[in-house]
Structure 1
Amino acid sequence: MKKIALTLFAVVISAAIFAQAKKADELVKFAELKHNFGKIKQGTPVTHVFEFTNISGKPLVIENASASCGCTTPTWPQQPVAQGKGNKITAGFNAAAPGPFDKTVFVKVSGADQPLELRISGEVLTAEQYASYESTKGKKSGK
């Protein structure tokens, strides 16, 4: 009987703990979660700003923003963001290697059980490929 009572107690406590956990998208609203840079020239770093608004009922803390690889560098606000106010997370990409890319920035929000994911993508072209791309782009637009 004691084992059944202890098991039942553990289940109830676990359910209460998980019920209190929030999802990051219940605390913060991003204007966009994905950005495609299109075709970019190798060796020319690019950045994109992901704007967000605090939709929670209290100051919001971005605990961390980490990238899926070393070629992507996120920056995030170090101070709490007041209720209803906005801020930004910037994702930089070094464009060192040619080829398509799809990178993720994991954003850990205080009070959320899982990180939110921001994605950047595009294709890095060598200097020759980029020059060819630009010349055909100009012809298509009537220049």
Structure 2
Amino acid sequence: MKKLAFILVAFFAVNIAMAQTADSKNGPEITFAETEHDFGDITQGDVVEHIFKFENTGTEPLILSNVQTTCGCTAPSWPREPIAPGETAELTVKFNSRGKMGRQNKVITIVSNIGENRTVKIITNVLPKESK
């Protein structure tokens, strides 16, 4: 009898733990089609732009509250309205290479209501302007 009671308690404990794990997956979730883009070689002074496409793969609306960059040479544009579950949206990132030289690695941090920040990255190699 004690053995049966122990088995039943263990069975219910496992089921409760599994239900709690399933519940913790509820909420918004951001899934990017790509998290890194390499522009290759560009010339100093060029302004380049890339669109990072993403989807709310969660169960509740996704809200991007801020998008932070590592320097003023990188400018993000993102949706300000909530993104419903299953909907896609875009994060546009512009990089101005004026005053930059060599390999550039810029991290863009996405602050949202998913509970942790996510990042995407742009990379490029800035070549000097050809003198005339």
The TM-score with structure 1 as length reference comes to 0.69
Q: Which runs of 5+ in 2 are unaligned?
A: 1-20
Query: Which residue identity lines up with residue 108 of structure 1 in the other structure?
Result: V
Query: Which residue identity lines up with residue 42 of structure 2 in the other structure?
Result: I
Count of aligned pairs between the two proteins: 108
Matching residue within 74, 77, 90 for 1:75:
77
Does 1:98 pair with 2:96?
no
Q: Which runs of 5+ in 1 are unaligned?
A: 1-18, 130-143
Structure with the higher helix share, 1 or 2? 1
Identity, % of aligned pairs?
Answer: 35
Q: Hey, what does 1:63 align to over in structure 2?
A: 65
Matching residue within 27, 33, 36 for 1:34:
36
Distance 1:92 1:106 in 2: 14
Distance 2:87 2:118 in 1: 19
Q: Hey, what does 2:110 align to over in structure 1?
A: 107
Distance 1:76 1:64 in 2: 8
Query: Which residue identity lines up with residue 127 of structure 1 in the other structure?
Result: K
Distance 1:28 1:21 in 2: 15
The structure 1 segments of at least 4 consecutive aligned residues displaced by more than 6 Å after TM superposition are: 19-22
How far is the alpha carbon of 1:109 from its aligned partner?
1.5
Distance 1:67 1:21 in 2: 30
How far is the alpha carbon of 1:111 from its aligned partner?
3.1
Structure with the higher strand share, 1 or 2? 2
Distance 2:67 2:117 in 1: 9
